[in-house]
Structures are given as C-alpha cells and as structure tokens.
Amino acid sequence: MSNRRDNGEGCLRKRSNGTWEAIITLSVDPVTRKKKTKSLYAKSRKEAKAKMEDFLEELEEKKQSLILPEYEQESEDDMLLADWLETWQKTYLADIKRSTKDTYRSAIDNHINPVLGCYPLSKLKAPVIQEFYNQLHEDKGLSPKYIKNIHGVLHSALDKAVEIEFAAKNYSSVCSIPKVEEPEIKPLNKEEQERLFAALKGEPFEDLILTDLFTGLRCGELIGLTWDCIDFDQGIIHVKKQLSMPRKKGGGGKCYWSSLKNGKTRIVVPAPFVMNVLKHHKSVQAQQKLAAGSLWDEGDFPGLVFTHDNGYHYIQPTIWKEFQKVLKKAGLSHYRVHDLRHTFAVNSLKAGDDIKTLQENMGHFSAAFTLDKYGHVVDEMRKASSNRMQKLIDSMSM
C-alpha cells in the first residue's frame, strides 16, 4: 500500500519490535499540511489490516448514520471543520485556562469532530448543525447543559472563522438547543446539619468537611488550600488558587495548579470556629508527618492543608466518595459536596449577611449572579420579616 494517505485512508508498517502498526489519516491541516492520524497495533500484518478495515468501516458508518447530506469539498481552500477546530485551539486559545482548554478539547474530540468534523466550512449550514444538536439530545441523551456547552465551543470557533473570513456566516447562531433548567438548590437544613456533625465526630475527613461547610469553598479550592494562605493572627483565609484534574475521557493525568473560577483571588473571614478547626488540623497533620517519617511525600504540591496521612494531595473524587460515606453514617439522603457550599450560602443569608458580602465570600462574578442563585432565600426572609412585623402590630393595642 502506498505511503500517501488521504483523509480516511491508511497504511501498514512493520515496527522495530516485530509488531505491526496501522496508521489512519483522519485529517490534514490545510495550512501546515500536518496530518492528524490514528494508530492501531497488532502482532501480525493480517491482524493490523483487519483492525484498520474495521476502524475505517466503523468510521464510515458513523458518518452515514449520524449525518446528514452528502457533500463534496469544493476546493483545497474550503477548510474542513476538524482542521479549523485544530487551528483555532492552537492559535486562538493560547491564553485561556488549562481546565477550559480541556473542556473544549473534550467537546471537540468526543462530540463535534466525530459528526461534523468532516464537513467543509462552506457546507456547515443551519440544518446540519441543528440536526447535530437534536441527535445529541434525542439519540445520545446528553443533558441540556452539556449540549449548551458543546454549542458554546462550536459557536465560538465559528465566530472566529467568520471574523478572519474563513467562513461566510456562523449558522450555529440561528440554531435552537434544549432549554437549560437550573437544578433546585439543595442545602442541608438545620436538623440534617446536626446529624452530619454527629456523624463526623472522629472521622478522618471531619476537619475538611467542617471547613467546607463554614467557608463555602469550592472542592478544588479546598483541596488546593495551603498553610501559607491561612492567617491565624488576623483570622482570615486567602483563596488564591485551586487544585485541578485533567478533564480527559477515562481519567488519568497529573493534577495541576489553576486559577480560580472567575480569575479573582479573594479573602474569606470565617467564624472563629473554623480557625480553631484548622489549628486542630495543623497539629494532627504534624503528628501524621512525624509518624510517616521518610515516607511523608508532598509530591508537587507542598504545604497543603488537607492531605492523605502520608502527605500526598487529595483529588476531588476522593472527597466525593468520603462525603457519601459520612452521609450514609448520618442516615442522610444523597447530597453532593457542592451542596455544602449552597448550605453555607443559605446559612450566611439567614445569619444576616447581605448579598454583596455573600458574593465576595463565594467568589461569584457579580452580586446579580448571587441574588439570582439564592434569591428565593431572600424572598423567604422577607416574608418571615413581614410576618414578624404583623405579629408585632397585632400585639399592640391600637
């Protein structure tokens, strides 16, 4: 077979270790001429060829079953969407956060490219994109929020293509996506919090969960909190960064420091109770470090407040798993770790915090967002205030 490979074609080669490799060309960047390929490995040439043919057949079936009308690329200048998305990511997303890049890459590799990647930009009209969104919802069963995120990636990429005149129009702008309904906020009520406190007594994650419940930190902020960000003298916590995981299909990859969600650092002034919890935890960690001796391993993230008993950092799934164990012990129904953050917000409002203070403590982009998120709590408080005033009026002889 020729070494020349067009899109959707492949070749076989024998490797130095005696095994065989089938190399399939998925796309070619029209600017750099760099090829995006897929490699399949086998013990024999026959097996490699069979794998390649099966892959190509499956690829063709996906194109035929998932999409849409036939097309022909009009010219070499008529760039394929997959090639444009690759160029867009490399050239125009250089300065965005790594976690955002990972999210974009996931949407492109797992959803957009398998269906729309083979389309020239000139053929990517509204009916094609609309059918793609419909299939994501009806056939794949993706949530409206997930589809909205995929739409956001495609829309941004096509906007840039139009801006630099690689495409005539961004047809995703006129497409409809399923309406996203915000999930109901589920804070723990007073009785549930008391049961949680009782279940936490003596548990390894007691200090971590209590800190989360009374600061409202996001999970990544919590496991990325370092001792140099805690000022015991002033009673404040500096929230500067978070510990993030790569967003890869199937997991894997090393954790890394990333900036906060809205890019702004903040100061949290928690109740003295929280600072006492952290002081206690610091002494516990010192004992763990002494017991571990040479086995104490902080890896790439020294100085973390919350770690395993050998000094190694936590990952978010560990916190989620341990929180469910504590909930079960408390006899409580399912809650997410993020619901501790909602509980903090509701407790803050009920304790008398104003929306602006809550916004700053939560690290929200704006007070309007905070009010929209927790406005129902404010309404309940207003009604309660009205009822108290009425009782006062009723008690007076007028």
CA 354 from chain centre, in angstroms, equals: 29
Distance from C-alpha of 259 to C-alpha of 241, rounded to nearest angstrom = 5
Residue 383, phi then psi, degrees to nearest 5: -65, -40
pLDDT in tens, 199-236: 999 999 999 999 999 999 999 999 999 999 999 999 99
CB-based burial, 137-149: b 16+ in 10 Å, e otherwise: eeeeebeeebbeb
User: Between the CA atoms of 208, 211, 215 and 220, what dihedral angle is there, to the nearest 10 degrees?
Assistant: -10
Residues 159 and 230 in one domain: no
The terminus-to-terminus CA distance of the chain in angstroms comes to 101
Q: Can you give the pTM of this predicted structure?
A: 0.65
329, part of any domain: yes
Structural domains of the chain, count: 3
Residue 206's domain comprises: 190-385
Distance from C-alpha of 135 to C-alpha of 349, rounded to nearest angstrom = 42
Assign 247 a pLDDT band (cuts: 50, 70, 90).
low
- Which uninterrupted H or E stretch holds 322? helix 316-330
Average pLDDT rounded to a whole number, residues 320-347: 94
Residue of higher predicted confidence among 72 and 207? 207
The pLDDT score that the predictor gives to residue 331 is: 95
pLDDT in tens, 255-292: 989 888 877 899 999 999 999 999 999 999 999 999 99
The pLDDT score that the predictor gives to residue 27 is: 66
Residues 105 and 149 in one domain: yes
391, part of any domain: no
The pLDDT score that the predictor gives to residue 294 is: 94
Find tokens 């690759």 and name the residue. 86
pLDDT in tens, 183-195: 778 899 999 999 9
Give the closest residue to 26 by CA, choosing from 105, 83, 71.
Answer: 83
* Angle at CA of residue 72, ends 60 and 113, nearest 5°: 50
- Which uninterrupted H or E stretch holds 20? strand 20-28
Assign 64 a pLDDT band (cuts: 50, 70, 90).
low
Residues 285 and 223 in one domain: yes
The pLDDT score that the predictor gives to residue 328 is: 95
Residues 260 and 293 in one domain: yes
197 pLDDT above the threshold of 50: yes
Any idea what the CATH number is for the domain that residue 90 is in? 1.10.150.130
